[in-house]
Amino acid sequence: MTEGGWRYGQTMSVRLASATAAVLAGVLTATLVPASPAPSAGPSPLSSTTGTGPGSQPNGRGNLELSLALTADGSVAVSWKRPTTPDKLEKFVVKVGVNRRLDNLVQSYYVSPTTQSLVVPPAYGVLPDSGNFTFVKVVIHRRSGQVGASPTKWIQAPTVSPCTAAPDDRVTVGTFNIRNWLTERRKRNKTYPWTVRRDNVIHQILHSGAHAVAIQEASGPENAGFGKLEQDEYVLRQLNAQDPDRDARWRDALPDAAYKNPGGRPGLKGTRVIYDRNRFRLLASGLYRLKAPGLRSDSLMPWARLQAVAGRRSTTGLAAPFVLTSNHLDQGEDRASWSHRTHQVAQTADHVRELYATFGDQVIVAGDLNETANTNPYNQAQLRLLEIGMFDAFATGNRRNAAFPTTNGLAFPVRRTPNRRDYILTYGSVRGSCRYVNVVFRRPAQASSDHFMQVATLPLPPY
């Protein structure tokens, strides 16, 4: 695919292959890579760009009045204001990286004191339709020995696949890691137990606009202080009890028997696909077990083939069918966890292609991939899925609360920095994202989980 100067598949493969080779060689670390010569001047910036991403300071604000803009080929035009005459300065250093901390996969460019602009390549993994950000800081070195810097600013990758689907050819889905109801008890945290969070979980799902939702961590056992229901059953019962649509019938796409552990091998049985049977009919469903050497528990990947209908008794589809999966990869920042996710995401990619080959429908992967722009050595989970041709639903101009991360750590206030651990990606014959919402809550009284629910309205093929 070629559009706006981008060679999508070729660019992705080359960058990912290069990064993988560097990782194997032990080159990629959490430190700065060697500084490079400054790139030559590139194409003129696109006049339509805003210059900064959500949560970033506007262009021209702060020390050195740093400004960012995209060029026609997707590079980043960086400009700043010199605070004094060149003879009093030693150099500028333009730092470009994948996260706000600029502590991983950073490229540094030395610039002469007479220069006040530079065109640089985007940060690693900042590909078209990825939704990712290039973070930039300019450091000033004076001949007196003093060192100063601009604030870090960021700009999003270009979106080359806009949503053009008719309203009837769209579907709204969500993903929500609701946090096991025993987690706070195990951690002896009395501030946000399930009794505080549970009503907020239900409220946020019901008011999200999504009637098909990928759920993670709904694995709380029965007889744990909340009656004889397991956590997933409790959530479904409360959704049906509290849904203002009295015809709503929330269901799990799979029976509990599908989650039984073969040969005693456990799995993350809180990973579910739930849907409102009054809005969708279930055409097929299944579950994949993602195995990783050295990991005792399997990551589970349930899936449901759904189609919008005019009521639970209707058999007439209103739009093209689609497949929704729920995903929860291994958690951890150590080398072993990263290796586990390497195996899990490779299997995820294989299963996505298998589902598409089987049904020919859009496949929507939604869940907690447990990797972010801060992941060392790099965010392999998202990049592996982008490499097979998936589209990240965050890549849209119609976003809400994009300035915030998708997790909050149950610590308030939540800092404004776009840092995603939860993703919604699509694979199929149509690309684009019509709307994306990060369901952010700002007050402790609204706390539902250490994750925010993510909701996307996505295009489907014409029906």
* pLDDT tens digits along 180-211: 999 988 877 789 999 999 999 999 999 999 99
Map the chain to HEC letters.
Answer: CEECCEEHHHHHHHHHHHHHHHHHCCCCCCCCCCCEECCCCCCCECCCCCCCCCCCCCCCCCHHHCEEEEECCCCEEEECCCCCCHHHEEEEEEEEECCCCCCCCCEEEEECCCCCEEEECCCCCCCCCCCCEEEEEEEEEECCCCEEECCCEEEECCCCCCCCCCHHHEEEEEEEECCCCCHHHHCCCCCCCHHHHHHHHHHHHHCCCCCEEEEECCCCCCCCCECECCHHHHHHHHHHHHCCCCCCCEEECCCHHHHCCHHHCCECCCCEEEEECCCEEEEEEEEEEECCCCCCCEEEEEEEEEEECCCCCCCCCCCCCEEEEEEECCCCCCHHHHHHHHHHHHHHHHHHHHHHHHHCCEEEEEEECCCCCCCCCCCHHHHHHHHCCCEECCCCCCEECCCCCCECCCCCCCCCCCCCCEEEEEECCCCCCCEEEEECCCCHHHCCCCECEEEEEEECCCC
* Amino acid type, 451: H
CATH H superfamily, domain 170-459: Endonuclease/exonuclease/phosphatase (3.60.10.10)
Residue 463 near residue 320 (C-beta atoms within 8 A): yes
pLDDT at 124 over 70: yes
Cβ contacts of residue 214 below 8 Å, gap of 6+?
Answer: 173, 174, 175, 176, 271, 272, 273, 324, 325, 326, 327, 366, 367
pLDDT value of position 110: 98
pLDDT at 10 over 50: no
Q: For the beta carbon of residue 39, count every other beta carbon within 10 angstroms.
A: 14
Cβ contacts of residue 142 below 8 Å, gap of 6+?
Answer: 84, 88, 89, 90, 148
d(CA 405, CA 419): 4
pLDDT value of position 263: 72
d(CA 363, CA 325): 8
67-156 has which CATH code?
2.60.40.10
Indicate where the chain has its CATH 2.60.40.10 domain(s).
67-156
Structure-block tokens of residue 436 = 């994306």
d(CA 265, CA 1): 42
Backbone angles phi and psi of 7, in degrees to 5: -105, 95
Could you read off the pLDDT of 398-427 as tens digits, one per residue? 999 999 999 999 999 999 999 999 999 999
pLDDT at 103 over 80: yes
Closest CA to 90 of 62, 117, 114: 114
Could you read off the pLDDT of 425-446 as tens digits, one per residue? 999 999 999 999 999 998 999 9
pLDDT at 285 over 80: yes
pLDDT at 232 over 50: yes
Structure-block tokens of residue 99 = 């996260």
Is residue 264 very low, low, confident or very high in pLDDT (cuts 50, 70, 90)? low
Distance of CA 261 to the CA centre of its chain: 29
Q: What is the mean pLDDT of residues 117-122?
A: 98
Indicate where the chain has its CATH 3.60.10.10 domain(s).
170-459
Distance of CA 14 to the CA centre of its chain: 22
* Amino acid type, 13: S
**How far from each other are the two terminal CA atoms of the chain, in whole angstroms?**
25
pLDDT value of position 31: 30
Q: How far is CA 398 from CA 175, 211, 392, 401, 427, in A?
A: 18, 20, 13, 10, 20
d(CA 175, CA 227): 26
pLDDT value of position 51: 60
Give the CA dihedral 345, 350, 356, 357, nearest 10 degrees. Answer: 180
Residue with tokens 């397991």: 230
Is residue 225 very low, low, confident or very high in pLDDT (cuts 50, 70, 90)? confident
Is residue 30 very low, low, confident or very high in pLDDT (cuts 50, 70, 90)? very low
Closest CA to 436 of 458, 416, 459: 458
Residue 218 near residue 231 (C-beta atoms within 8 A): yes
Closest CA to 30 of 99, 88, 132: 99
Question: Any idea what the Cα angle at residue 415 is, between residues 413 and 419, rounded to 5°?
Answer: 135
Q: What is the mean pLDDT of residues 324-342?
A: 97
- Compute the mean pLDDT over every residue in the chain, rounded to the nearest whole number: 89
Could you read off the pLDDT of 357-388 as tens digits, one per residue? 999 999 999 999 999 999 999 999 999 999 99
Cβ contacts of residue 288 below 8 Å, gap of 6+?
Answer: 300, 301, 302, 303, 347, 351
Burial class, 353, CB count within 10 angstroms (exposed 0-12 / middle 13-18 / buried 19+): middle
Distance of CA 74 to the CA centre of its chain: 21
Percentage of residues in the chain having pLDDT higher than 90: 80
